[in-house]
Amino acid sequence: MKTNASLLTLRIPNELKHNIKLMADQQGISINQLALYALTKEIKEMQTFNQLEKYWIKKDEKAIVEDFGALLSKVKDKNDERELPDWDKL
């Protein structure tokens, strides 16, 4: 199965390239696979942060606390219905 791909040339410091190569070797994957994974993961985290920022920027502290309290009450309600495993207890 072929996918559409583009070639991207990056200039990176030699030390970073060395560290990337070491990590890829430790993982048993190519530098390309490691770089693709790391870039994908970081971009997704940045997108998630941006979405959360857009959501929370519109709310004041009181609304945030209320939303968080409502969320916690839902979690607590679900946990009350079953016994928690020892590893999940405070």
- Concatenated DSSP letters of 56-80: HHTS-HHHHHHHHHHHHHHHHHHHH
Output the pLDDT for position 33. Answer: 95
Contact between 23 and 34 (Cβ < 8 Å): yes
Q: For the whole model, what pTM was predicted? A: 0.58
Query: Are 30 and 21 contacting, i.e. CB atoms less than 8 angstroms apart?
Result: no
At residue 79, the pLDDT reads: 53
pLDDT in tens, 48-86: 999 988 888 888 889 889 988 888 888 766 656 667 778
Q: Check: CB of residue 72 under 8 Å from CB of residue 80.
A: no
Which comes out higher in pLDDT, residue 14 or 6? 14
Concatenate the DSSP letters of all residues of 38-57 into one string.
HHHHHHHHHHHHHHHHHHHH
pLDDT above 80 (res 38)? yes
Q: Where are the domains of the chain?
A: 14-88
